[in-house]
Amino acid sequence: MKKAIFGLGNPGQKYKNTPHNLGFEVVSLFRKKEEFPSFKIAPRWYSRVSRGETDKESLILVKPQTYMNHSGQAVRAIKKDKDLELSNIWVIYDDVDLPLGKIRVSRGGRAAGHNGIKSIIKNVGGKDFVRFRLGIKVDNIDDLAKHVLRPFTQKEKKTAHEMVETAVKALQLATEKGIEAAQQKFN
């Protein structure tokens, strides 16, 4: 069984270490821990990808290079080329509805105002893909657009790093034993 795991974010150095790039961080750390090859540019998929095998399945790790609001273009291209069912599309992204440090694993649902998820739903024609949501809510968010694109504060960095580590563990468990096992342990 082949799965595509999309870590959402924005390309470029200026977005590194921002809440919106947590998806990139999770797939990068997962790649490293699973000893998959380095990410390579895949122009027809609008992405950087790494392919590898776990004990259970073949995975494509994806960092769309379309910017967050157009993530669906990359998801659609890979879904079509690989003839993937929505259940084999897993998306990792930041979620302002969850407190910083919390993660949730789910299947389906609405976009809840997240433009990357809106783009994916629009481009793949459905919402029943798997989601790994990483909390970025902190006190006093005045401007959401500025919040997701600004670097983490020194105080937030440690919590964000721990959350990325936890999300990788959830992803590893989900690839080994299924989404339900990851939900039971990490939600």
Tell me if residue 7 falls in helix, strand or coil: strand
Sign of CA dihedral 153, 98, 65, 90: positive
Could you give the domains of the chain? 2-186 (3.40.50.1470)
pLDDT at 1: 63
pLDDT at 139: 80
Which one is catalytic: 20, 114, 147, 161? 20
Which DSSP string do the residues of 12-64 spell out, in sequence order?
SGGGTTSGGGHHHHHHHHHHHHTTPPPPEEEGGGTEEEEEEE-SS-EEEEEEE
Question: Tokens representing 126?
Answer: 């459905």
20 in catalytic set: yes
Which DSSP string do the residues of 154-171 spell out, in sequence order?
HHHHHHHHHHHHHHHHHH
**Tens digits of pLDDT across the chain (187 residues):** 699 999 999 999 999 999 999 999 999 999 999 999 999 999 999 999 999 998 878 999 999 999 999 999 999 999 999 999 999 999 999 999 999 999 999 999 999 989 999 999 999 999 999 999 999 998 877 888 888 999 999 989 999 999 999 999 999 999 999 999 999 999 9
Which amino acid makes up residue 106?
S
pLDDT at 174: 96
